[in-house]
Structure 1
Amino acid sequence: MHLHYEIASLGHLPQLLDMQEAFYAIDNYPFDRPKAEGVMRHFLQTPALGIIWVVKPAPAAEIFGYLAFTFCYSFEFGGKIAFLDEFYLKADFRGRGLGRQILSYALQQAAELGLQVIHLEAERHNQAGKSLYHKFGFRDHDRHLMTKII
C-alpha cells in the first residue's frame, strides 16, 4: 500500500488526540484529554520540540496512524538526537507491514533532519513492536530508562 505522510498541524489535533487516547488505553495509561490537548497544541506550535507525521492511505483519506519524534541533544551521541516518543496505528491497520513502511520513512527523515541517534522505549509485552525495532537496527543498550516526575 502506498502511504501518504503529512507533518501534523493544529488541524490534525482532534484526530491525534483520539488516536493518542486509544494508544494509551492499550496499556491502561491515564489520559486527561484537556491536559493532552494543551501538551499536543504546544508541541505542534513549537517545531524545535520535534515533529509528528500523520499517515494516510491517500491524501484525502482518513488518518490511520502517527509517529512522533521529540528532539534533544546528546554529548554521548554527538549532537541532535530524537526520542521516538509515540508510534501508533489503528487496530485495522496493524499486522499488514505498514509499521515497517512508516518506520522506514521516519528513519529516512531522521537522517535529513540531521539526527544522530533515535532512542525509543517499548513495553516488555510488545513483542511485535520490539521485533520490528530490532529489524531496523535498534538495540537494547543494557541500561534502564529511569523517570522522575517533577
Structure 2
Amino acid sequence: MNYLLSPYNYDLSDPGSIPNLIWQHAFLVGVSMLISLIIAIPLGILVARYRPLYLPVITVSDLLYTIPGIALLGVLITVPGLGLSFQTAIIPLILYTQLVLIRNTAAGINGIDPLLIEAAKAMGMNSRQILFRVILPLALPVIVAG
C-alpha cells in the first residue's frame, strides 16, 4: 500500500518496477510492429496488384479484427507450448494491426497516379525499380497514416 501512496519511492532494480515495465511494453510494441510490417506490406502490395485477392484478404483480416483481444489471449494461453509468454502477447498485437496496414498499403498504392508509373516505365525502370523508387515512396504517407 505504501508503494501506491508514494509513487516516487520505488526500487529501480525490482523486476516489476515502472521503468522495467515500460521497457517491456515498448519492446512488445516494437517487435509486433516490425513483424506486422514484414507481413502486411507485401500482402498490401499483392492485394493492390491483383484485385481478385482484395476481397478475400480483407475479409479474413476483418474477421481476425473482430475477435476481442481478451478472448484471443484466453485461447492462446491454452495452446501447448505458449502458455503465458512473450509469444502469447505478440500474436494478438500482430493480428490486430494487419487489417489497418493491409488496407492502407493497398489504398496508398491504388491512389498513385497511373501517369507517374507510366513515366517511370518510359524512363526505362523495371518493375522492381518502379515498386521501390516510385510506388512505395509515394504510398508511404498513406501507409504510415494507418
The TM-score range, normalised by the shorter chain, is: under 0.3
Structure whose CA Rg is larger? 2
The normalised TM-score by structure 2 is: 0.23
**Bigger RCO (CA 8 Å, 6+ sep):** 2
Normalized per residue, the structure richer in helix is: 2
